[in-house]
Amino acid sequence: MAYDKNNIFAKILRGEIPCNKIYENEHTFAFHDVNPQTPIHALVIPKGEYISMIDFSENASETEISSLFKTVTKVARELGVENNGYRILSNIGDDANQEVKHLHIHIFGGCNVGAMICRR
């Protein structure tokens, strides 16, 4: 599958649609999820064109990879969820119902986020 430059997060990165930005640096960008599932629900994405964690881990530079994970920790701290805890999650592909085909890490917090996986 090729990266789709018209996915919604690519448009956010290009400034074509607005977002509620939290933080950015050379390699990463963080913003609030538009449809929060918990009181704190943030998204951290690489600026590079990576579809999912598979693509990212195989093709991103060491700097991009470390930057993404350091940004997750930094954003969680800035949002005040570090002490009580939070969950990070990344959906990869169809069985995980990945909607946006640009790698993103969700940060859920601000409450007890419940069981690890809801089976239906």
Does position 100 interact with ligand AMP (CB under 6 A)? The reply is yes
- C-alpha–C-alpha distance, residues 19 and 83, integer Å: 26
Does position 34 interact with ligand AMP (CB under 6 A)? The reply is yes
List the catalytic residue out of 27, 41, 102, 104.
104
- 23 DSSP β-pair partners: 30
Residue 62 or 119: which CB sits closer to ligand AMP?
119
Does position 95 interact with ligand AMP (CB under 6 A)? The reply is no
Q: Supply the minimum distance, in Å, between the C-beta of residue 120 and ligand AMP.
A: 15
Does position 54 interact with ligand AMP (CB under 6 A)? The reply is no
Q: Which of 10, 13, 19, 22 binds ligand AMP (CB under 6 A)?
A: 19
Q: Does 104 participate in catalysis according to the annotation?
A: yes
* Sequence-ordered list of residues with C-beta below 8 angstroms from that of 78, at least 6 positions apart, any chain: 22, 23
**Is the Cβ–Cβ distance between 21 and 29 less than 8 Å?**
yes
Does position 98 interact with ligand AMP (CB under 6 A)? The reply is yes
Does position 7 interact with ligand AMP (CB under 6 A)? The reply is no
Catalytic residue positions, numbered: 104
